[in-house]
Structure formats: C-alpha cells, structure tokens
Chains A and B, each alone.
Chain A
Amino acid sequence: MPSSAPVDADTIYDAVIVGSGVSGSLVANELSKQGFHVLVLEAGPGEDQTIRGYEKYLSRFYEATSKDNNSPYPANPNASMPRSPAVHSLAAGQPDSSSYLVQNGPFPLDSTYTRTLGGTTMHWEGKALRMLPEDFETRSRYGQGLDWPISYDELAPHYRRAERELGVSADVQDQAELGIPFEPGYVFPMQGLPASYLDQAVAAGIDGTGVRLDGEDYHLKVRAFPQARNGIPNAAYDGGKGYVPVGAVSTHQVEQGERCQGNNNCVPLCPVQAKYHAGKTLAKALAGTVGKVDLRTQAVASRVHVDHVTGRVSHLEYKAYADPGSPEHTTHTVRARLFVLAANAVETPRLMLASGLPSSSALMGRNLMDHAYLLTWGLMPGPVGTMRGTVCTSGISDLRGGAFRHGQAAFAADIHNDGWGWAGGTPEVQVLDLVDSMNAFGPDLRRGAVDRISRQLLLAWMVELMPDPSNRITVDGRYKDALGNLKPVLSYNIADYTLAGVAQARSLSRRLFQRLGVEDHTDYRPTDVGYVSYQGEGYVIRGGNHWSGTHVMGTTPANSVVDADQRSWDHENLFLVGSGSMPSIGTSNTTLTLAALCLKSAEQMVRQLRDETSAVELATTTGSAQA
C-alpha cells in the first residue's frame, strides 16, 4: 500500500515519531521543514489518503447501525480503540476487561480516541480554545491542581502558530472579553462562524443572566467558540496578507476545499474535510522537500528500549501487521537520534509502562484528566431548527475562570446544534418512539417529528477536573490485545471539587431553562453508565475524550515526567508529546493547547538535533528483539 514506506533496519532516522495524530503530524512537519529525516509509525490503517479512501469512512458511517464517534473507522483488534457503547456500569472491585480499555473503576469513563491515520482529529469536534492565563497557575492562585512550568504568555506565540496550522475561525474581540490576552491587532485566520438559529434563540432568552459565585457576580453571554473549521478568511490576518484555507487532502487532485457546509457531523467525521484533521498537516509533511518523512501504517509501537548506561533511548520495537483481521505480524526494530511518542495520553504512557519505564518520578500514567460532562436537555417552546449547522457553534464561557475556583470547579456550556443525540435522544429514537409507542403515522408522524426534534435543546456542561495521581493508566500482564501488547487499564474517579461544579451547572441549567420556557426533559437514572450521587442528588457524568496529564510536565524530575519542552527528564533523546504533558486543562478542549505545545517542543527538538550533529555516539542495540 502506498502509505507504507519500507523501513530500512540500517537507517538511523533523525527522529521516529509514534502516532500520526495532531501531535505527531505537527512534529513531523516541523522537523521535516528543517531538513530532518523522520519516520512516522501509525498503529492503525491509512485508508484515507485518497478521497475515495476518505469516502470509505463516510460510507462505513452511513451504513453503521450504531453511529458512535468511532463508527466510521474500521474495527481493528490489532490496534483497538475504546468505544463508548462498550462501557458498562462497574461493580465495586470488579474491573471490566470486556473491551480494549480495561475499566478498573470506581467510575466508568466512556471517553474514546481513534487509532487511524490522523488520530482522534478524525472524529474531534474542532473546538479550538485557548486556555485562560489563570489556568496555567491554578495551584498558586486557587490552591488547586498543579501549576504549569510555563505561563500563558510563553505559550501565546505558539498558540498563534497553532491557530494558523489548524485554521481557526473565531472573533478575537469575543475571546478577549473572556480575559484572554491577544497581541495588539491580532485577528484569527478566519472570521467566527455564524451562530446557529438555536444559539440566537437561546441568547435572546439568557444573555445578561446574572450568576453569583463565591461573592462575585458574573453575567452570561452566548458567544461563538473558536473552531478549527474553514469559514470566511480574514483579509486582515497576518498583517493584511490574509489566510488561505486548507481543503481536502488526497493523493490525486480533487480540489475539494470548501468552507464548512453545515453537515452537522463534525463528530464523528466531516464529509467535506472543512474541519481540520491531522492528515492535512501530515500531507504537507509527506510532500515536503526540505527533509523527508516516511510513513509506516499498521505498525504498532510495542517497546521502547533504553541504554542503561547513557539513559538514552536506543531503539524502538514495533509490530507490523498486513491484515487487521489477523494477529499475524512481524516485529521490527527502528533506530533514530530522537524518539517522539505522540500516541495520545493513554497510549503513550501505556507504551512506556509496557516497556518497563514508569519514570523516576513514578508519575507515568498518573494525573489522568478529562472533562466531566453533565448533559441537560429539554424542548424549546417552538421549533428552532435543531439538527442544523456544525455540531456546536456557541455556548457559555463566562464561568471558565474566577475566584470561586478555590472551592469548586470552573465550567462552561456548549449549546448542541445536534440536539439530544449525546443524551440518547437522537432523531432515530424519536421516530421509533412515535411509530412504536405513540402509534403515529402519516401527518401525525411528520408533525410529531418536528415537535420532538426541531425544538430540542441540549446543553453540555464541561466541568473541569484537577490532576489526581490516583486517576491513572496502568498495564497489567493479564490484559493483552490481539498482537500481545498490554492493554491500558484505567482507574478513574471524580472528586468532590468537580462534583460541586457539576451541581452548580445543574442548578444554573434549571434557571436558564426557566428563563427560556424550556420543558426540562433531563433525566438521570441510577442504572445509567456514569451515574453519581452528590449531596443527595443524582447526576450522570460522561467523558469528554480530553485525555490528559499522564506524562505531566513540571519543573523537576521529581515532580514531573517531562520538562517544559515535553522532553523526558529520564531520557534526553525522548519526547513525550501531547495532552499527556498538560498539568491542568481548565475548561478548554485540549487540542489547540497541545498543538501549541508540540510546536514549541519541535523548536527544542530542532535545536537538539542540530547540537548533536557532531558524531553522536549512538548506543548499540541492547535489547533483543522479541516476537
């Protein structure tokens, strides 16, 4: 297959990157631009490098009876991915190992990620938020969580580069009002996406709502989210040079590069590639002529080998398979001057732990964070055209920061243009109920569909979670996948700090629904996966797919796994990149921040590769290849 470059065992690459998602692709592109020879290993298949291949994802999605967020991507026991329908409630003390991600509890987390070319950016929604400056110093400011080793200001230039690379559409004024500083005159690459009709209806009802938290007053305003999605280019971008949006990628010319068409399907797959996915960056990297990028798909990194004298990574082992349906594979070794693990915040620590490398800090896999999502849903008084637009255009971001974070989690809310789907109330469910239970047919059915779907409002409350060493990814010799690789084992719980934010969100949701005249259909049942009780009330909490914190960055080898450049404290030629490095995630979707971090780290990698050009003594292979 064209995506699988033969790997020459004798080649010493400048860098080997594990993972072709957003982190790996950004690093590959940056290194290649500086003239380096890079190998990218992708565990999953790479069928989407042509439009026809991409369309296979689309038709797989169309034909799937369960349209969960990994439904477009082929089932692949050799590089499995977690899927939300596979998550069950847990009995105390009984791990659920029935699917790829072993759930050790006590809380079952239904977050997922995608193992295919382009990684989870294939199914991500595309929100591209910067973190607030205060999110970088929650320990100093609020006595909660961990401080970052770098400040917002240090990351800001990299945020700008990330916004260019991902192609972010947003209104800078709107974001500045949230307390996010931008350089004078900055505009986003593209104009903000228009608010949906539903957003406008919600805004008309709730803008100006006052909220008092911990003695301070906040006023709510519905505003559009920054999104990595093609919109109207900003003529004023880059000092008036403007911005050219990046369209679909393909190995032959299709010139499909339209702006967002409102397909209402950002998750799990944008049919026209108006949404950024890492394949766009990877395509540039592969086409680059300064350096060289080789890509090997269906190659699962299986072991990191360290030279115990120098502490450097000597080589990496991976298992290559020809057929996803068969565990038959061959084991290979690859050598490089630099190793970059960009497999995501579950797979990267899983690989390190499976390689017997828990970090001298013992923090490998720990401090796992995600966002706790509380859904509230109801029916607007009249049809508002739900099920149109991107999955989400606007929301409430005014409670992302503030002194109340001393005692409870910050939170934000998404207004979902795709209705109740996340809460299980899809149009399909409504039609089945109308036909089977309401005995509706003909005109009653059509009217019923409008009544039940076009009025839907779902708010997804994103509540922050602080790093906790006991929330973690581990491995356990009892649990292996088809290739014999150790499966990730998840231990996860939700602290009262977060639950206090959840309760606050529920209470605010009631007020907003009262203002809007929304029929509240929110319903949490003890049998639901993710049901928790807090102060006498029940809630259902879902995952946000924002896995992070598992190879946390910090200021010393004792308090962290990686330094501010995402370089391993233990192994000087090893970088662990991605959201796993983040010490906190606030109420920000993680992708833009991890992209900024990767661009920053790539600069250090380049410096390091250049400094080492004089006869680096490469450790001789010490580990023996194991099948």
Chain B
Amino acid sequence: MTLSRITTKADLQDYLHAAMQLEHATIPPYLTALYSIHPGTNSDAFHVIRVVAVEEMLHLTLAANMLNAVGGEPDMTRAGFVPRYPAYLPDGEADFEVSLERFSPTAIGTFLKIERPAQAPSEEMRVLRRPKPRAAIPAVHPDGDDGLHFWSIGEFYAEIARGIQHLHDQGVDLFTGDPSRQVTPELYYSGGGEVIPVKDLASALAAVELISEQGEGLTGSIYDEEGELSHYFRFQQLTLGRYYQAGDVANSPTGPALEVDWDAVYPLLTNATITDFPAGSEVRAAAEAFNAGYAEFLSLVNQAFTGQPDLLIPAVGEMFALRDQVGRLVRNPAPGRPGVNAAPTFDMPETTR
C-alpha cells in the first residue's frame, strides 16, 4: 500500500482502514499465546495478555468508529484483511515480524516490539520511506508501491491525529458518517478504557489518544491519563518479574513479585497453516472449523460496525465459543509431529463474505 502523508479525506480513510487492520493483526498472536497457557497456571501472565488483547479489541472498535465517523466503510471480510503469519504489521514497522506462537520469552519480546513507545529520534525519522518489506500485510490497496513506514504504532496514530487536525484546519467536512453506526459504551466495556463514539474533532482526537496511551503510555509516563499502565509496560512486567505500582518509573517496577512458568505451556506449532495438518485428521477438521468460525465472527463484527452495533453482544458469545475451540486444538498433538501440538491457523478463505 501507499501510506503517504494525509492530505485528503480519502487518505485519512485509508489510514483508518489500515488502523483497523493493524489493531486486528495483533489479536491472533495475543490470543494464541494466551490460550497456549495451561489452565490454572501463569495467572499473572494470563491476565496481562488477556487485558492487552481485550484492549486491542477496544482499539479495533475505536478505529471502526473513526472510520465510520468520516464516512468510510469498515470491511473486515475482504481478502487479505487477516494476515498470513509471520507478518509485518501494516503500519510498516519493518524491523520485526509477528508470529503465531506459544507463550514464551520470544513471544513476549515480539509483543514488546508491537507495543513499543514512540521513540523515533526526530520528526523526519518518524515517518521513514523504506523499501516495502517481504510479506508485509497488504493494508488497503495492495499495489506493491513503496510507502511510508512508521517506527511504532504510536507514530502511526500520531500521523492520523495530525491528519485529522490538518483536514479540519483546511475546512474539510470530515464527520459526515451516519451517527447510528457508532458503537457506544453500552455495547462494549471491559474495565480498561471506554468506547468513545466519534462525532467531531474532539472525540476523534480523544479516540486516537486513548489508543496511543493504552499502547505506549502518556508521553514521559508509564501510565495513561486514567492511571492505567500502558501495554508496553504491562508486558515488560513479565520479563522483569515484578508488577509496577503507582509512582514507579519506566524499567524499575517496585510492586509485588510476579511469577511466570514458561513451561506450563502447550508446545504449539509456530505459525501453523492448515496444510500442516493431514487432510482427513480430526485435528485438520477442527482447525478448519475454527477458521470458518473465525471468519463468521469477523463477519458478525463487521455487521456490527456497518449499521447493526447491537450485534457486538452476540459477537462476544461467538468469541467465547472460539476460545473453547482453540482450547481443544492446542491440547491435541499435531499429527506426525512428536512433541508438538496443534494450533489455530487463522487461515481465511480468499473472501469470507
């Protein structure tokens, strides 16, 4: 795709499509790691990952609200929306790939990169023009062009915020979407952050800010405005073995100790694809059933984002059913691969419509 600096409303919509894809792209890796943990073990790690995954769903919802607000049409069912892992993130961060893998130090290392604070040294460095990396996720219009790449998700959202402000300053009529498409706090809450219906400049910027702060923290702080620890530092607790508490500074948590048992984890096949499981096996059938269920789930959520927000409630039920399917997969040995277990593959049909 080409992510140029935002100069038109169409550019902004492209960015917001990419934002939805970006937010979604983090969810399968988080869920795979989450459900690879043996039930009843690793309570601390389980909750840390769970919270982040749930907040990514919140971010996805916020991105959909923004896209709807500016008259765009969310589409999570189009071909390529779900990346094939390993994958680069669709904001163009080119120095690491994201894998579907079990809970492990490697996985947490990747998660730290996903949530890394915006720390590009200068305005010029914030947006880099670099060659398109191998297997980058085609975000909006896969055209093979080189585009802009961001150092971090935070930088990506900074450009969205800049673009919104810029277009607004230019007098562009931005908020032309149907207000009834907005997802409201009644329909989505989880404890961390609240859905912001987007209807004007202030709410749009507030939504961007919420996403950025939950990810990387308020500038210069490990906490966001609500006093919530940012994702980066949540994950970092797992590598440092200690919780942050109020008053702590970056890299030096002083809260209660936290226990991680890296061995209480199912040995999943990393970046499994459907053809890794022999045709005709029960595992193959279950993996296919999961993929079909996931496609249906995305379709349901997409309907919620395109005019029927109430459908988010049953979508949660669908998600819990998928959770139980993943549970069965990861406890089964992968046929013909001694010592390795099956895993959800998240292979989507070309189009899930």
**A and B directly contacting (CB within 8 A):** yes
- Residues in A with CB closer than 8 Å to B187 are 232
Stretch from A203-211, A213-221, A254-262 that touches the partner: A254-262
A247 contacts B by Cβ under 8 Å: yes
Given contacts A253-B229, A255-B54, contact A245 B189 (CB under 8 A): yes
B186 contacts which of A55, A232, A261 (Cβ < 8 Å)?
A232
Q: How far is the CA of A292 from the CA of B243 in the complex (A)?
A: 25
Given contacts A233-B185, A254-B51, contact A51 B191 (CB under 8 A): no
- Residues in B with CB closer than 8 Å to A259 are 189
Instruction: Find residues 150-208 in chain B having any chain A CB closer than 8 Å to their own CB.
Output: 184-187, 189-192, 194
Instruction: Find residues 199-253 in chain A having any chain B CB closer than 8 Å to their own CB.
Output: 232-235, 242, 244-245, 247-248, 251-253
Q: Is A247 touching B255 in the complex (CB atoms < 8 A)?
A: no
Q: How far is the CA of A51 from the CA of B47 in the complex (A)?
A: 9
Smallest CB separation, B318 vs chain A (Å): 13
Q: How far is the CA of A252 from the CA of B228 in the complex (A)?
A: 10
B220 contacts A by Cβ under 8 Å: no
A51 contacts which of B43, B190, B320 (Cβ < 8 Å)?
B43
Greatest chain A CB density within 10 A among B47, B184, B228, B243 is at: B47
Q: Is B189 touching A252 in the complex (CB atoms < 8 A)?
A: no
Q: Is A52 touching B43 in the complex (CB atoms < 8 A)?
A: yes
B-contact 0/1 string along A33-51, CB 8 Å cutoff: 0000000000000000011
Given contacts A248-B191, A252-B255, contact A235 B43 (CB under 8 A): no
Q: How far is the CA of A588 from the CA of B229 in the complex (A)?
A: 42
Q: How far is the CA of A532 from the CA of B313 in the complex (A)?
A: 46
Q: Is A233 touching B47 in the complex (CB atoms < 8 A)?
A: no
Q: How far is the CA of A251 from the CA of B228 in the complex (A)?
A: 13
- Residues in A with CB closer than 8 Å to B234 are 253
Q: How far is the CA of A34 from the CA of B194 in the complex (A)?
A: 29
- Residues in B with CB closer than 8 Å to A626 are none
Smallest CB separation, A488 vs chain B (Å): 36
- Residues in A with CB closer than 8 Å to B245 are 252
Instruction: Find residues 293-336 in chain B having any chain A CB closer than 8 Å to their own CB.
Output: 313, 320
B189 contacts which of A233, A234, A253 (Cβ < 8 Å)?
A233
Given contacts A59-B40, A252-B256, contact A258 B184 (CB under 8 A): no
Q: How far is the CA of A261 from the CA of B320 in the complex (A)?
A: 9
* Chain A residue with Cβ nearest B259: A52
Q: How far is the CA of A21 from the CA of B47 in the complex (A)?
A: 27
Q: How far is the CA of A252 from the CA of B255 in the complex (A)?
A: 8
Give the total number of A-B pairs whose CB atoms are below 8 A apart.
Answer: 58
B55 contacts A by Cβ under 8 Å: yes
A52 contacts which of B44, B50, B51 (Cβ < 8 Å)?
B44
Q: Is A255 touching B51 in the complex (CB atoms < 8 A)?
A: yes
- Residues in B with CB closer than 8 Å to A257 are 189-192
A-contact 0/1 string along B279-298, CB 8 Å cutoff: 00000000000000000000
Smallest CB separation, B85 vs chain A (Å): 26
Instruction: Find residues 43-95 in chain B having any chain A CB closer than 8 Å to their own CB.
Output: 43-44, 47, 50-51, 54-55
Q: Is B184 touching A254 in the complex (CB atoms < 8 A)?
A: no
- Residues in B with CB closer than 8 Å to A244 are 185, 189, 194
Supplied contacts A244-B185, A255-B190, 6 more A-B pairs, CB within 8 Å:
A232-B313, A233-B189, A235-B184, A252-B255, A257-B191, A258-B190
24 A-B interface contacts by CB (under 8 A) = A50-B256, A59-B40, A232-B187, A233-B189, A235-B186, A242-B185, A244-B194, A247-B191, A248-B191, A252-B243, A252-B255, A252-B256, A253-B229, A254-B47, A255-B54, A255-B192, A255-B228, A256-B47, A256-B50, A256-B51, A257-B189, A257-B190, A258-B189, A261-B320
Q: Is B186 touching A233 in the complex (CB atoms < 8 A)?
A: yes
Smallest CB separation, A270 vs chain B (Å): 14
Greatest chain B CB density within 10 A among A234, A254, A257 is at: A254
* Chain A residue with Cβ nearest B237: A252
Closest 10 CB pairs of A and B: A257-B191, A255-B192, A255-B191, A247-B191, A255-B51, A252-B243, A254-B47, A52-B43, A233-B186, A232-B186
Smallest CB separation, B30 vs chain A (Å): 14
- Residues in B with CB closer than 8 Å to A254 are 47, 51, 191
Interface size class on chain B is 20 to 34
B55 contacts which of A232, A235, A255 (Cβ < 8 Å)?
A255
- Residues in B with CB closer than 8 Å to A253 are 51, 228-229, 234
Q: How far is the CA of A585 from the CA of B228 in the complex (A)?
A: 43
Q: How far is the CA of A418 from the CA of B33 in the complex (A)?
A: 33
Q: Is B43 touching A55 in the complex (CB atoms < 8 A)?
A: yes
- Residues in A with CB closer than 8 Å to B55 are 255
- Residues in A with CB closer than 8 Å to B191 are 247-248, 254-258
Smallest CB separation, A200 vs chain B (Å): 16
Q: How far is the CA of A51 from the CA of B256 in the complex (A)?
A: 13
A-contact 0/1 string along B225-245, CB 8 Å cutoff: 000110000100000000101
Q: How far is the CA of A256 from the CA of B320 in the complex (A)?
A: 15
Q: How far is the CA of A242 from the CA of B195 in the complex (A)?
A: 13
- Residues in A with CB closer than 8 Å to B229 are 253
- Residues in A with CB closer than 8 Å to B40 are 59
Smallest CB separation, B52 vs chain A (Å): 9
- Residues in A with CB closer than 8 Å to B194 are 244
Greatest chain A CB density within 10 A among B186, B229, B243, B245 is at: B186
Smallest CB separation, B56 vs chain A (Å): 13
Smallest CB separation, A171 vs chain B (Å): 15
- Residues in A with CB closer than 8 Å to B44 are 52
- Residues in A with CB closer than 8 Å to B243 are 252
* Chain B residue with Cβ nearest A242: B185
Q: How far is the CA of A31 from the CA of B43 in the complex (A)?
A: 35
Greatest chain B CB density within 10 A among A55, A254, A255 is at: A255
B-contact 0/1 string along A246-290, CB 8 Å cutoff: 011001111111110100000000000000000000000000000
- Residues in A with CB closer than 8 Å to B185 are 233, 242, 244
- Residues in B with CB closer than 8 Å to A256 are 47, 50-51, 190-191
Q: How far is the CA of A233 from the CA of B186 in the complex (A)?
A: 5
- Residues in B with CB closer than 8 Å to A255 are 51, 54-55, 190-192, 228
* Chain B residue with Cβ nearest A63: B40
Greatest chain A CB density within 10 A among B50, B192, B229, B320 is at: B192
Smallest CB separation, A262 vs chain B (Å): 9
Smallest CB separation, B76 vs chain A (Å): 22
- Residues in A with CB closer than 8 Å to B192 are 255, 257
A-contact 0/1 string along B256-271, CB 8 Å cutoff: 1000000000000000
Q: How far is the CA of A318 from the CA of B84 in the complex (A)?
A: 64
- Residues in B with CB closer than 8 Å to A248 are 191
Instruction: Find residues 26-43 in chain B having any chain A CB closer than 8 Å to their own CB.
Output: 40, 43
- Residues in A with CB closer than 8 Å to B50 are 256
* Chain A residue with Cβ nearest B193: A255
Q: How far is the CA of A235 from the CA of B55 in the complex (A)?
A: 22
- Residues in B with CB closer than 8 Å to A52 are 43-44
- Residues in B with CB closer than 8 Å to A232 are 186-187, 313
Smallest CB separation, B163 vs chain A (Å): 30
- Residues in A with CB closer than 8 Å to B54 are 255
